[in-house]
Amino acid sequence: MRRVICSLFLCLSGMVLQAHSTNLFKVPDTLNKERFALVCGTQAAIWGGSMVALNKAWYANYPRSKFHFYNDSKEWLQVDKIGHGWSAYWGAQFSTALFRWSGVKKKNAALYGAGMGIAYVTVIEILDGFSAEWGFSVGDIAANTGGALLFSVQEYAWGEQRIQYKFSSQFKKYPDAELQQRADHLYGSSIPERILKDYNHQTYWLSVNPSSFMKHTKFPKWLNIAVGYGADGMYGGYSNVGFDKMSNQFFNLNREARIRQCYLSPDIDLSRITIKGKTPAVLKALHFLKLKIPMPTLELNSKGQLKGHLIYF
C-alpha cells in the first residue's frame, strides 16, 4: 500500500509531462543543462518530500526497531509483490520521462530511469526495516528491480513499451456483515481507500502489443492482449485466522477460501491511437497512468472455475 501511495503522488506531474502540448514540454535535441538541473532537483524534492510525508502519515503510528529483515514472500498470495513491481515500473517511466524532457538521450534516460525507479521504492524498504511492524523485504526488492527493469530494458532495446505493466481495481461490497466489517478494518471503507488498499479487488496485468513484434501485419496496432493476476478471499496477510494487533481481537474467517485468479483480456494501447497522424495529448496522459482499460475478460481461478466477465475492471 505504501508504494501505491507514493506512485500516485507522482501521477499528476507525469501526466503533464506526457501531454507535450506546448513548446515547454517538447523534448530538446541536445541536453538542456537548466532543465537537467531542474529534473534532478525536482526528483530529489519529490523523493524526499514524499518520504517525509509517508513517514509521518504511516510509520509514525507504529513502534520503531533496529534494522532487521523480514520474509513476507507468502503474504497476500503475492499480490503485494506484483504491486511492488508495478510501482517500480511506473517510477522508472516517470523518471525516464523527466530525463528525456531535459534532453538526455533515450537509452541513457532509460538507464537513469531504472536507477531512480529502483532507488525510490528501495527507500520505502529501508523505512520498513526500521519498523517493528514490518522489516526489510528481499522479495520486495526483487519485485521492485524487476518492475523497473521491465520498463527500462524495453526502452533501451526497442525504444518503446511492447509489454506494459498495468493496474486495475474495483470497489465491491462484501457478501455479509462480518466480512464487510473485517474488510473495512483492513482496507478502509471509502472508495479511494478500497481502490488503493484492497488486495482482494486489485488486478495487475502484462499487456502485450502483438503488432509491435511483427513487421508486416494487419493486426490492429492499438490492440493489446493482456494477462492478469489477482486474488480474493484474503482477510489476513497469511491466513484468515489470527490476532489483529490494531483492534486487539482474534478473528476467524477460515470459512472463506483464499483464491488465486488469472485473467485473459483484450486491451487498448492508447499511445498507438492516432488522429491525423498524431496521438491526442489526453490519450498520451491517460496512457502514462498505465491503467487497464475495462474489457470483456476470461477468469480462471485456483478452484478450477472458468468464468466470463462482460466487462472487467
130 vs 3, residue with greater confidence? 130
- One domain, residues 120 and 80: yes
**Full residue range of the structural domain in which residue 153 is found:** 1-159
pLDDT for the residue numbered 83: 93
| Domain closes at, from 99, 133, 159 | 159
- One domain, residues 178 and 123: no
What would the grid cell of residue 203 be? Answer: 488486478
- One domain, residues 52 and 190: no
pLDDT for the residue numbered 149: 95
Summarised one tens digit per residue, pLDDT across range 275-309 is 988 889 889 888 999 999 999 999 999 999 999 99
Residue 1 has pLDDT above 60, yes or no: no
- One domain, residues 206 and 82: no
Number of structural domains, the chain?
2
- One domain, residues 49 and 37: yes
- One domain, residues 146 and 171: no
Q: Is the CB of residue 150 less than 8 Å from the CB of residue 85?
A: yes
123 vs 70, residue with greater confidence? 70
Work out the pLDDT band at 57, boundaries 50, 70, 90.
Answer: low
* Continuous H helices in 159-234: 177-187, 191-197
Please state, in angstroms and rounded to a whole number, the distance separating the CA atoms of residues 303 and 54: 38
3-class DSSP state of 237: coil
Strand partners, 228: 205, 263
pLDDT for the residue numbered 13: 46
**Cell 498505465 identifies what position?**
290
Q: What is the DSSP letter of 64?
A: B
Summarised one tens digit per residue, pLDDT across range 84-118 is 999 899 989 989 999 999 999 999 999 999 998 88
Please state, in angstroms and rounded to a whole number, the distance separating the CA atoms of residues 237 and 244: 11
Summarised one tens digit per residue, pLDDT across range 121-143 is 788 888 889 888 889 999 999 99
- One domain, residues 101 and 192: no
pLDDT for the residue numbered 194: 86
3-class DSSP state of 278: strand
Please state, in angstroms and rounded to a whole number, the distance separating the CA atoms of residues 25 and 235: 45
pLDDT for the residue numbered 20: 40
Please state, in angstroms and rounded to a whole number, the distance separating the CA atoms of residues 133 and 267: 38
59 closest CA partner among 142, 141, 126, 121: 126
